[in-house]
Amino acid sequence: DEQNYKESQRFAEHMKGVSEATSEFAKKRTMKQQRQYLPVFAVRQDLLQVIRENQVIIVVGETGSGKTTQLTQYLHEEGYTKYGMVGCTQPRRVAAMSVAKRVSDEMNVELGKEVGYSIRFEDCTSADTVIKYMTDGILLRESLREPDLDHYSAIIMDEAHERSLNTDVLFGLLRDVVGRRQDLKLIVTSATMDASKFSNFFGEVPTFNIPGRTFPVDLLFAKNSVEDYVDAAVKQTIQIHLTGNPGDILIFMPGQEDIEITCEVLAERLAEVDEAPELLVLPIYSQLPSDLQAKIFQKSPEGIRKCVVATNIAETSLTVDGIMYVVDSGYCKLKVYNPRIGMDALQIYPISQANSNQRSGRAGRTGPGTCYRLYTERQYKNELLTTTVPEIQRTNLANVVLLLKSLGVDDLLQFHFMDPPPQDNILNSMFQLWVLGALDNTGQLTDLGRQMVEFPLDPPLSKMLIVSAGLGCSADVLIIVSMLSVPSIFFRPKGREEDSDNIREKFQVPESDHLTLLHVYNQWRVNKYSSSWCTDHFIHAKAMRRVREVHAQLKEIMEQQKIPIVSCGTEWDIIRKCICSAYFHQAARLKGLGEYVNCRTGMPCHLHPTSALFGMGYTPDYVVYHELVMTAKEYMQNVTAVDGQWLAELGPMFYSVKESGAGRVQKRRQAQEHMSQMEEEMKLAQESIRMSHEE
Ligand code: ADP
Ligand code: MG
């Protein structure tokens, strides 16, 4: 009976929260009332006072307390925007866009005017913009042009607890900028209480806490470890849904594929239940078109429960109101440098305890909630790391190295990192840049390297663009690079797989996925960039429009850089050679029937069934690839057939040709000498890292 009593107590408490949260009053609150209801509003004056009195402060507050949407507006209202923009950085593009939209609504202005956002390849700001949301990568690139960030009167580094690679580099740069510019305000925000590290980093600056308003969350662990988290999440969600208790549901999944499957299976299973109440299932992940992303914030129709299926974007970056149940798969996707394949790979990893706690907290914003953890308590305690390893310590740093070098930071080991990257990371990245010709033997930026920095692209792609000019195929390579900057353009609707595959085959150029992409774009252009043409050919019209925007922006940079833009017409071998010049370090050789192995590591790698080279009865001896995707097997993605000769010519440090002439032997010897010189330099660098660590 006592158990019963407790249960009913809990239920009563629960219902009180529910009715508060969903009362008609709450629904009808005006935008202004909503703003005033946020926890940060209660401390607005104190906060502004601390900002007035200090140049740098750390602001800590629960997710949803109003840091991201309100701080910029407060600074604007206080007049800070009279002397420059208020900039707010986000680790995620989705967050930058979505929050800018929200703030422009709150201020009742058109998005892109007073309030705007800027993300890679998409600048939605104007001369009127005073509040600018952007990815941290954008501000980093802006600092190349404007080391003192003169256009800004204040910078808010949001979501600092995420410790994204670019945020970490910004930390080091901004620490110097605030030293040089006493008039610049810097606010670092974090959702977690562990702010002392940030405060330390800037020289014991004050930390301001926004008092939270949270409700208790019941934590329910799995009894046994879960085999299939998608299946477990679906079962748990349906069980919650069928109890009939009110409150929306938030499911955390590692990535897009799992989210899509979860949404499908949820719909299927619910359809099997007799007279199941309706459930509004809404996915959210970074590649989702923005109109669909916006849906998660909309109120569901009266009496219909909402179920948001999200990546860890909903952990702290975006807050959906009304969530009372969280179902946590316990996994997320992380980019981690994989030494076996010599590059970064996006893979699924268990979350950290910090992630886990943030996720469960999402259930207690509007009332008491429940979090179902699809892992055992033992796993939580023994197997999850306390916090996630910062990105700077686990990924390839080639872009960062390039950027810092061009900012004049010659000695990366002297750069002030909050947590220095492991020496191997720096050395690997420097090696990659040296291989591409962006660094010389002494680790200095070459002319090529200096030009590569100008492009917001990964080093191989920027190299491909620059090399293409000399080969006379820059107009064509520009299209290829633009196409590669957008996620897959082909779609394969359910029930019409065969139709779409047939059409796709018609576009395929047998020796190259890159040329296939070029072909698609050229056909689209011939068809006057028509949307209906896309739809007829199972191509995402939206993605193609995006390609066109990327194309326009890269073209502008090429023009600024005075790189001639010329087409080679149908001389496609030249383009393949150009592709080879950027990807020779990612080459595979035919071994047996349709089987490939990596030229450098001997590791098997496979053609993806969607590749133009797959099953065409034509299997070239050598191929290069854009990236490796690791699912059931290691698949090469975006593959182009190349000549063995080209590999030896363009990548002499890796490859030789047996029947080569004396000249080539000599060239190779020279390259190897350079390589050992480079290694020597790196050892010295290593030595000095070790010493600086010991200091
Ligand atoms: P924090 O940054 O402290 O986590 P935010 O400023 O992001 O908090 O969120 C404050 C409030 O604004 C939350 O209640 C959230 O639901 C709301 N909000 C934020 N973005 C949107 C949006 N695009 N649409 C509707 N509401 C939003
Ligand atoms: Mg925020």
Q: Cα of 93 to ligand 2 centre, how many Å?
A: 13
Residue 2 scores a pLDDT above 90: no
Q: What is the pLDDT of residues 435-451, one digit of tens each?
A: 999 999 888 999 999 99
Q: What is the pLDDT of residues 589-598, one digit of tens each?
A: 999 877 899 9
Instruction: Tell me which residue of 143, 229, 159 sits closest to 191, measured CA to CA.
Output: 159
pLDDT of residue 170: 96
Please give the structure tokens belonging to residue 663: 């000249």
Residue 651 scores a pLDDT above 90: no
Nearest alpha carbon, ligand 1 atom 10: 66
Cβ-based neighbour number of residue 438 at 10 Å: 26
Task: Identify the nearest ligand to the CA of 212 by its number.
Answer: 1
Q: Cα of 64 to ligand 2 centre, how many Å?
A: 7
Phi, psi of 214 (to 5 degrees): -130, 155
Q: How many CA atoms, within 13 angstroms, populate the side-chain half-sphere of residue 335? A: 13
Residue 552 identity? A
Total-model pTM: 0.85
Q: Cα of 99 to ligand 2 centre, how many Å?
A: 8
How far are the Cα atoms of 413, 422, 680 from residue 687, in angstroms, in the given order? 10, 13, 11
At 694, the pLDDT band (50, 70, 90 cuts) reads very low
Instruction: Tell me the pairing of strands 587-590 and 596-598.
Output: antiparallel
Q: Cα of 28 to ligand 2 centre, how many Å?
A: 24
Q: Which of 182-196, 202-216, 519-533 has the highest mean pLDDT?
A: 519-533
pLDDT of residue 427: 86
pLDDT of residue 19: 47
What are the pocket residues of ligand 1 if the criterion is a CB atom closer than 6 Å to any ligand atom? 38, 61, 63-70, 98-99, 101-102, 297, 319, 321
Atom of ligand 1 nearest to the CA of 159: 2
At 423, the pLDDT band (50, 70, 90 cuts) reads confident
Q: Where are the alpha helices (DSSP H) in 527-589?
A: 531-536, 541-560, 572-583
Q: Where are the alpha helices (DSSP H) in 135-186?
A: 136-145, 165-180
Residue 17 scores a pLDDT above 80: no
Q: What is the pLDDT of residues 90-104, one digit of tens each?
A: 999 999 999 999 999
ipTM above 0.90, yes or no: yes
Higher pLDDT, 204 or 291: 204
Q: What value does the mean pLDDT take over residues 264-275?
A: 93
Q: How many CA atoms, within 13 angstroms, populate the side-chain half-sphere of residue 83? A: 12
Q: Cα of 96 to ligand 2 centre, how many Å?
A: 10
| Residue located via tokens 């629904």 | 27
Residue 22 scores a pLDDT above 50: no
Q: Which of 598-607, 627-636, 652-661 has the highest mean pLDDT?
A: 598-607
pLDDT of residue 695: 39
Mutate to test the pocket of ligand 1, among 69, 190, 318 (most ligand atoms within 8 A of CB): 69
Nearest alpha carbon, ligand 1 atom 22: 102
Task: Identify the nearest ligand to the CA of 317 by its number.
Answer: 2
Q: What is the pLDDT of residues 454-492, one digit of tens each?
A: 999 999 999 999 999 999 999 999 999 999 988 889 988
Q: What value does the mean pLDDT take over residues 167-185?
A: 95
Residue 542 scores a pLDDT above 70: yes
Nearest alpha carbon, ligand 1 atom 17: 319
Residue 268 scores a pLDDT above 50: yes
Residue 136 scores a pLDDT above 60: yes
Residue 226 scores a pLDDT above 90: yes
Task: Identify the nearest ligand to the CA of 31 by its number.
Answer: 1
At 107, the pLDDT band (50, 70, 90 cuts) reads very high
* Percentages of the chain per state (helix, strand, coil), in multiples of 5: 50, 20, 35
Q: Cα of 293 to ligand 1 centre, how many Å?
A: 14
Q: Cα of 375 to ligand 1 centre, how many Å?
A: 29
pLDDT of residue 679: 63
- The CA-based angle 540-543-544, given to 5 degrees, is 85
Atom of ligand 1 nearest to the CA of 316: 4
Atom of ligand 1 nearest to the CA of 69: 6
pLDDT of residue 23: 47
pLDDT of residue 365: 87
Task: Identify the nearest ligand to the CA of 102 by its number.
Answer: 1
Atom of ligand 1 nearest to the CA of 210: 3
At 51, the pLDDT band (50, 70, 90 cuts) reads very high
pLDDT of residue 8: 53
The overall average pLDDT reported for the chain is 89
Q: What value does the mean pLDDT take over residues 32-56?
A: 95
